A and B are shown apart, each in its own frame.
Chain A
Amino acid sequence: MKNLINNILKKTARLIKFALIPGAVMFSSQSCDNPLEEVVVSNLSNSYINTPKGFNDAVSAAYGYLRTYYAQEIGMSMSQLGTDTYTNGADGSYKRYNFYNGELNGRDNWVRTLWREFYKGINTCNAVIDRGTEIKGLSPAALASGVAQAKALRALYYFTLVQHFGDLDLRLSETNGPITEITRTTESAVYAQIIKDFNEAYPALPKRTGQWGRMDQMAVDGFLLKVFITKATRPFGSVADFATAETHGKKVINSYDRSLVSDYAKLFELGNDQNSEAVFSVQFSYDLLSAGGFGNRWHLYYLMEYDTQAGMSRVLEVGRPWKRLRPTNYTYNQVMVNRSVDSRYDKSFRKVYKATRAGTFPTFLDKSKATITVAVGDTAIFMPGFEMSEAERAKRPYQVYTPSMYNEKQFETLSKFLDPLRASINEVQGGRDFVLIRLADVHLMVAECLIKQGKQAEAVTHINLVRRRAAFSGKAAQMEITTAQATMEFLYDERARELLGEGHRWTDLKRWGNLVERVKLYNPEASANIKDMHNLRPVPDEQIDLVDGGNTAFPQNPGY
C-alpha cells in the first residue's frame, strides 16, 4: 500500500513537473504576477489627464471638437441653408434644412451630431476645469491658462448649442459615470453661464495668443460681443446688453492689433488665413495625418456643376462640385447691387471657367450657338451676372450663362472657400482655416448695437469703414452711407454683402427675429413650410428617449 502511494506521488510529481515547464515559460513571459490583471497598453486611461502632459493634451482635445461642426457640411446646413441668401442646390441629403419639412425632426443626423460632438467637447472642457486645481509639475500660471481656455471653449460650445436648441442640459463638471436624470436648463441660465465662463477665462488668457488659433482676450471680447448682442434680443435680454456688446466690440477694434485687410479679395486668398482681420478661426491643416479626418469642407458646397459642361472636366484648380448651396434671387438682385462701385460681387463669385478639354462641344445652357470650339485654357463659360442679348452671346466663342438660365446645378459659385491646395481633386478635406470672427463682422455688429441704442451717427462710421474697403479703387467715397441710411434694414443687406456665405446668416436672422418673415419672402423652396417653431432646431430624439422620464423630463422643442 505504502509502495503504491509512493509510486503515485512520485509519478504525479514527475508529471506535473514536466507539465508545468511549458506553462512556466508562458507565464514568465507575462510580466505581471496576476494573470487576470488587465493592463492598458495601447490606450490612455483617464488618469493621464492628471499628468502635466496629459493636462495640456486635454486642453488641445477641447479645441478638437470645434472641427466636428465648423467648416463641415453640418455647419453649412445649419447656418446657410434655409435662409434668405441661400437655398438648396441640386444635391445633398440635408435639403430638409432648406425645406423645413417633416424630415427635419429629432432623428435628423445633423442635430444629433451637433448635440453629441459639442457635448463631448463640453465634457472635455469640464475635465480640464475639474482637474485644474492642482497637477504636480505644472505651474499655477500654466494651469490657469489651461482652465481659462477650457472655460472659453465651453462657453463657445454652449453658445452654438443654445442658439440652435434653446434650453439645454447645462453640465459643468466632468461626467464620471452614467447619468440619466437630466432636465432642461433655461436658455437664460445658459446665457448667464456662457457670460460667466468668458468673463472668468478673460484674466488668465494672454492679450494676444502666441500660438495662432488659441483662445486669447481678443477672441473672448469678440465672442462676448456676439453673446451679448444675441442675448439682447432674447426675451430675457435688454437694451443694456447692446451697450455691453458694444463695449466688447470696441475693445476688439481698438485694444488689439486688428485692422481690415486692404483688399476684400485678399481676405480669401489661399495662404492668407492668418490675416490682420481674423479674430478667431477654427484651425485646419492640409496634412491628412494631422487632420484627423476633419478638413475644411466648405470648398465643396458652393461650387456649381461645371465639370459636365462643354469643354470642361473636373480639375483641382476649380474643385469638386457638391452643389449644395445656390444663391437666392435676393442675393443676386438686392444684395449684390451697385456692382460697378462695390467690388464684393466680383470678388465673391467665380465668373469664368476655363476649358480643360480641347475640341468642339455642343452647348448646354447658352443656345445662342449649337457648339463651341475651345482649346485648353480658353474661356468655356462666362457668367457676367446680368442678362445678355442672344445676339451678343452668339458673338462669343464660349457659353454665356445669364441669371435667367440658372438652375439647381448651374448658378453663381461663391469663391471664398475654394481650395485648390487639397491633396487631390476628389479629396474632400481642405486645409483652409474657418473664420468665426473677423474684424468687418465686429464693425457691423458694433454698428448694429449702436443703431439699437439710437446712435446711428456713430454706427455710420463703422459701416462706412467696411464699405470703403469694398469699393473699387477710387470709388470709396461713393460707398459711404449717411446717418439716415443707417437702419437695420440696411444692415440686413450689408451683412449679407460683406459676410455672404460665411456661416452667420441663420443665427443673424434668428437674432433679428425675422427668420420666418425673410425666408418666406426670399427663399421660394423654404417659404411653404417655415413656421415660428423653426427658430429652434429639434432636440435629438435619442437625448429625449434616453433620459429618465423621456419627453416629460426633457421635452422636445414645441412643434417637433
Chain B
Amino acid sequence: MKRSILKSIVLLLLCCTSSLFAQTRQINGVVSDNLGEALPGVSITVKGTSEGMITSVDGKYSLQVNSANDVLVFSYIGYEAQNLKVGNQSVINVTLSESTASLEEVVVVGYGTQKKSQLTGAISTVKAADIKDLPIANAQQALQGRVAGVDVMQAGSKPGSEPRVIIRGRRSPNASSDPLYVLDGIPLSGGIGDINPNDIQSMEVLKDASATAIYGARGANGVVLITSRRGSKKDGKPTIFYDSYYGVTQALNTMNFMNGPQFSATKREAYRVRNSNGTLGGFQPDNIVFTDVELDGIAKGRSFDYIDALLRTGNIQNHSFGIAGGDEKTTYYMSLNYFKDNGIVYNQDYNRNVLRVNLDHQLTKNISMGMSTFINYSIRNGEGFNPLGGAMAENPLGVPFNDDGSLNFLPTEDGLRSNPLSEIVDGAYIDRRKTNRMFSGLYAEAKIIEGLTYRFNFGPDFTVNKRDVFQGTFTNARRLAPPRASTDNVNSFNYTIENILNYTKSIGKHNFNLTGVQSFQRNNFETNGVTVQDIPSETQQFYNFGNAAIIEGVRSDLIQRSILSYMGRVNYGFNDKYLLTATLRADGASQFGDNTKWGYFPSVAVAWNLSSEEFMQSISSIDLAKLRVSYGSTGNQAIQPYQTQGLLSRSVYNFGDNAVFGYGPNTIGNPDLQWETSRTLNLGLDFSMFRGRFTGSIEYYDVTTSDLLLRRNLPPSIGFTEVTTNVGATRNNGIEGTFSTVNMDNRRGFKWSTDFQFFINKEQFVDLPNGDDVGNNWYIGQPLSVIFDYKKIGIWQANEFEEARSFGSEVGEIKIQDTDGDGKFTAADRVVQGSGVPKFSGGVTNRFKLGNFDMSFFVYARLGQTIRSNFHTSNNSLFGRYNNIETDYWTPENPTNVSPRPNQNQERPIWNSSMNIFDGSFVKVRNINFGYRFTPETAKKLGMESLRLYSSIQQPFIFSSFISEHNGIDPETDIDASLGGNVSPAAWTATIGVNLTF
C-alpha cells in the first residue's frame, strides 16, 4: 500500500517534470462511428488537465498537446470512450463504437438477474450511484421521487420514523398496502429501516404482475428488491472506503401560535356575556375572565414561547467505513455504519449501528456458497412521546420559572397543564426502544450440468426489541402522581427456506430459461410486557419492577404464521427480438380457512424489441424501442392471523373482593377467508434516442383487485363491530413515466442532465357488496379512504340569528352545508370532500457537472390530495383554556367566515371536524447538493483512490397553501390523509459530506 502511494507520487512528479520541458504541438483528426460517418460534438480532453474541445459538424478537431505522454480522451454519449496516448503522432483519427452498456445492463429480478434488454416486466432501478452522494437516512428515502409509480410519504421529522411506501396506489382498505421487501433474495418480514443505505448496491422496484408474479403470494403491492454491495474478484486488491456526512437541522418556521396578548384577547372573547335572549353582550371584567396568574401575566406583559423552548438545533451524522475485495475463489465486503440523528425536539433521537458482512466463496469448481449478513443495534428515543403537544397547548401567560430560576411545575392554575419544560428534564420522561436485529441470507449453489443450477437459500431473521417507558412524578402524564414505568419486549424470529432450480439453454436463436422454486416462510412473533406504578425512587426507572407498589398490567402474546409456495417460470426469447415470460405460482397461507388456504397466481408477459427489426435500423435517432405487455394475477394475504376463528376477549369483574376474569365473544371468525387477488394489465414502452441522450419508459397499468380482504364494519347491535371478509373490488389505473435527458454536454466539460418522473393514479372502489357503504366510508368510484364529513360553508353571522337558531346553532358558530335542504343538520348532510390520494406526483432531478464540480437539485411534488389536519383539531379549539394557533376568529366586530367565535363553553367548536379539511398539495425542494471530486491524480497524491467532498441542503423550501394560507405545518402525510396533531415539525438540514476510497 505504502509503496504504491510512493510509487505513484514519484511517477506523478516525473510526469510533471517531463512536461515542463516538452514542446507544445498540434494534433488533428476526425472522429467517426463504425459505419464511417463523422461524429460531431464528441468531446476530447487531455487527461489530467482542463484542456479540451469538441468535434465540429464534420467530425474534425484540432488541439494542442505538451508531451508525447499526454493521453487524449474521446467521449461521446452512447459510445464507448477511448483513451489514446499521443506519442509522436500529429494526426489521430478515431473510430468510436456504440456503447452497449445500457443495453447489457443487468437488472436484478425475482430469483435471478436479467439483461435489461431482455426484460418483459415493469421494473425500475435505483442505483448506488444515484443515492451514494446524498445524505439519506434510510432506504425508503432513496425511492422518493426517483421511481415512477412509487409514493413515499414521510410525516414530520421525528428521528427514526420510517416513511410509508405505496406502489401504484392502495388495492385493499384493510390488508396491508406495504410492498414486499426482498433483501439479497430473501423476503423480509421486518422493516428495511435497519439497513445501512450505504450498503445498498441497487434497489429494483417490481411493479407489474409479470415482474411480481414470482412473489405471487405477496406481490400484489409490488416488490422492492434490495441488493447489497459485494466484493469484486478483479485484482485481489482490497478497496477501503469511508463515506460520511454531518449536518445541522433546524425547524422550518411553520408553527405560529398565539402570544400572550393574542391569547388574552381570545379568552376575553370566549367569556363574552350571553344575553338572556341568546345574543352576545360585552366582555366580562378581566378579574372574572382571568385567573390570578393570567392577570399577573397580562399586567407584566408576559408571553412565553414554550414551543421555541422545546426546539433545538438538531444534528445528523453518518459514518460508513468498510472494505471490499476478493480473489478468484473468495470475495468479501464488510462495513460498519454509525448513524445518529438528534432531532430538533428535545428527547427525540435515533442511533443506528450496523455491521455488514457479505461473503462469497467458490467451494469447488461447481459449488459456491456465501452469505450476506447484517447485525443491527439501534436506539430510539421519543418514539411515542412528543413534548411539543403540551407546549402547543400551554397558556403563554403562565409562569414557567420560579424566582430562583427553577422550573415552576404548574405555570398556571390549570391543574391539567403542567410545565412542558419539565418533560425534558433529564430522566423525567424516557421513551426508549432498543432494537437488535440479525439478518442473514445464506446460500449454496451448485452447477449440476451446463446451464442447470440448484440453489438453496436459508434466511433467518432475528429481532429482539425492547421498549421502555418511564414517566416521572413531574411530567404531564403523571402530574405529581407516583412514577410509572413499563417495558415491552418483542422477540421475533422469521425464517425463509428456498430450493431453486434454474436451467438456461440456447438453441440457435432460441433462448430458454426455466426456474422452479419451492419456498417456505415462517414468522414467530412473541411479545410480553409489564406496567407498574409507584416506584420508590425515580432513579430506578424501569429497572426494578419488583419494587413497584402497584402492578397496573401484565401482558404477553404469540403470533405465528407461515406461507408455503411452489413456483415455476419460463423465459423464452427469439433472436433477442421477441421475448416471453410465463409464471405460475401456488401459495398456501396459514391465515386462511382450511379449504381456502391455497391460491394460484399465473401471469404472462411478452416484449418486442422493435429496434432490432430491420425496418427500424434506418431510423438512426432511435437506439432502442421495446414494447411490453403483461397480464397476470398476484395475491395478498397481509392480514392478521387467527381471523378464521371466533376468539374471546377478557373482561374483568369482581364479586365483592374476589376478582374474576371472564371471557366472552370478541371476534367473529370467518372460516372461508381466502386470498385477495389482483389482476394487472401493464403496457410499457422503453426507449432510448439520440445515442442515449433521451431515454425513458412509459407505463400504463390497470389493476383490479377482487375478493378484497375487507374488515367490514357491522351494525353493532349484533354484538360485533367488524369482521374480515372477501368482498368487493378495487381498481387502480394510471400512467407513470421516467425520463432522462442529457441537455448539454459541451467541450468545456459542462454537462447538464435531468431525470424526471411522474405518476398519475386513479384509485377507486368498483364493487362493494351493498353499493355505497356510508358506515364503512366506502363509495363506488371513490378512493379507498375519503374524507366524508359535514362541509363548512362559513360562520353564522349576526344577521342570521333566527336561521342559526332554527338549525340549533348560534351566531358565531360554524355554519355547515344543509346538503339535503331539510332545514336541519343531520347525518344526511355529510359529503365526500376529497381523499389523501394525490392526483399527480412527481420528481425532477437536475444534475450539473463542470470539470470536477457537480451540483444537483431535486424537487418533489405531490398535488391534489386532501388532508385532515389533526394539528388544527388539537390546536384550534378556541375556548380560552389552551393556547391556539393564530387564526382569524369571529367576533361581533370581525364577521369573518374563517374560524368560529371563541367560546368558553366548549372543548372544541361545534362541527369543528368540518374546519380541519384542507388541500394538502405541496412542492418541496428536497435537496440541493454541491460536490467536488478531486482528480484521480490529486487523490493519489493524498494517498487515496478517489475523493469527493460535498455539501447539501435538505428540504430548504416547502410550497403549500396549507402553510401559507391556513397556518398549517408540513402537509406531507400518509395516504390515509390524517395529519397528526402532535408531530415534530418539518425541518431543513445543512450537510457536509465526504466519499473516499483507498
Contact = CB atoms under 8 A, between A and B. Distances in A.
A107 B777 CA distance: 14
Interface stretch (A61-69, A243-251, A395-403, A447-455): A61-69
Given A44-B663, A59-B662, A123 B533 contact: no
B481 interface: yes
Given A42-B557, A540-B716, A550 B774 contact: yes
A61 B550 contact: no
A542 B648 contact: no
Contacts of A560: 826
A62 B717 contact: no
Interface stretch (B335-343, B444-452, B504-512, B924-932): B444-452
B536 interface: no
Contact of B648 (A46, A59, A543): A46
B907 A36 contact: no
Given A46-B645, A64-B652, A178 B668 contact: yes
B112 interface: no
A61 B808 contact: no
A292 B646 contact: no
A175 interface: yes
B665 A124 contact: yes
A176 B714 CA distance: 13
B479 A26 contact: no
B449 A8 contact: yes
Given A36-B597, A102-B809, A63 B653 contact: yes
Nearest to A367: B287
A370 interface: no
Interface residues of B, number: 100
Contact of B775 (A15, A59, A290, A542): A542
Contact of B907 (A58, A91, A288, A291): A91
A103 B910 contact: yes
Interface in A38-52: 38-46, 48-49
Nearest to B641: A38
B827 A423 contact: no
Interface stretch (B302-310, B606-614, B718-726, B940-948): B718-726
A394 to B, nearest CB: 19
Given A211-B658, A542-B713, A542-B775, A40 B645 contact: yes
A541 B774 CA distance: 9
A296 to B, nearest CB: 12
A46 B665 contact: yes
Contacts of A65: 651, 664
B664 A120 contact: yes
With a 10 A CB-CB cut-off, give which of B497, B554, B653, B908 has the most chain A CB atoms: B653
Contact of B908 (A38, A93, A178, A290): A93
B448 A424 contact: no
Contacts of A8: 448-449
A101 interface: yes
A308 B414 contact: yes
A387 interface: no
Interface stretch (B141-149, B398-406, B585-593): B585-593
Contacts of A169: 715, 717-718
Interface stretch (A189-197, A279-287, A434-442): A279-287
Interface in A515-533: 528-529
Contacts of A546: 713-716, 773, 775-776
A475 B319 CA distance: 86
A107 B827 contact: yes
A124 B664 contact: yes
Contacts of A285: 654, 657, 659
Interface stretch (A16-24, A234-242, A487-495): A16-24
Given A36-B562, A37-B590, A42-B556, A213 B654 contact: yes
Contacts of A529: 808
Given A26-B522, A123-B718, A178 B723 contact: yes
User: Which interface class (under 10, 10 to 19, 20 to 34, 35 or more) fits A?
Assistant: 35 or more
Contacts of A426: 478-481
Interface in A60-79: 60-67
Given A36-B564, A48-B663, A103-B910, A292 B716 contact: no
B615 interface: no
With a 10 A CB-CB cut-off, give which of B481, B660, B720 has the most chain A CB atoms: B660
Interface string B569-607: 000000000000000000011110000010000000000
Contacts of A256: none
A305 B656 CA distance: 33
Contacts of A23: 458, 497, 520
Contacts of B662: 57-64
A54 B522 contact: no
A360 interface: no
B650 interface: yes
A266 to B, nearest CB: 19
Given A95-B905, A424-B534, A546-B715, A30 B522 contact: yes
A285 B552 CA distance: 12
B663 A61 contact: yes
Interface in B667-701: 668-670
B104 interface: no
B988 interface: no
B645 A283 contact: no
Given A36-B589, A62-B662, A289-B553, A115 B717 contact: yes
B901 to A, nearest CB: 15
B560 interface: yes
A548 interface: yes
B590 A36 contact: yes
Interface in A165-200: 168-169, 171, 174-180, 182
B522 A38 contact: no
B533 A423 contact: yes
A116 interface: yes
Interface string B540-559: 00000000001111101111
A178 B712 contact: yes
A335 B591 CA distance: 62
Given A102-B910, A314-B415, A426-B479, A64 B716 contact: no
B717 A168 contact: yes
B242 interface: no
A122 interface: yes
Contact of A283 (B558, B654, B669): B654
Contact of A38 (B291, B590, B648, B904): B590
B717 A543 contact: yes
Contact of B558 (A42, A115, A178, A362): A42
B808 A102 contact: yes
A182 B497 contact: no
A364 interface: yes
B770 interface: yes
Nearest to B446: A15
Interface of B: 278, 291-292, 413-415, 444, 446, 448-449, 454, 456, 458, 478-482, 495, 497, 499, 520, 522, 533-534, 550-554, 556-564, 588-591, 597, 641-642, 644-648, 650-665, 668-670, 712-721, 723, 725, 770, 773-776, 807-809, 825-827, 904-908, 910-911
Given A23-B497, A46-B648, A91-B907, 4 more contacts: A19-B499, A175-B668, A292-B651, A425-B480
Interface of A: 4, 8, 11-12, 15-16, 18-19, 22-23, 26, 30, 35-46, 48-49, 54, 57-67, 88, 90-93, 95, 101-103, 105-107, 112, 115-116, 119-120, 122-124, 126-127, 168-169, 171, 174-180, 182, 211-214, 274, 283-285, 287-292, 294, 305, 307-308, 314, 320-321, 362, 364, 423-427, 528-529, 540-548, 550, 554, 556, 560
21 contacts: A4-B449, A22-B497, A30-B522, A40-B642, A57-B662, A59-B662, A62-B664, A64-B653, A101-B809, A105-B825, A107-B827, A122-B719, A123-B720, A124-B665, A127-B665, A171-B718, A177-B668, A182-B717, A545-B775, A546-B713, A546-B775
4 nearest A-B pairs in the assembled complex, by CB-CB distance = A123-B719, A64-B651, A61-B662, A292-B652
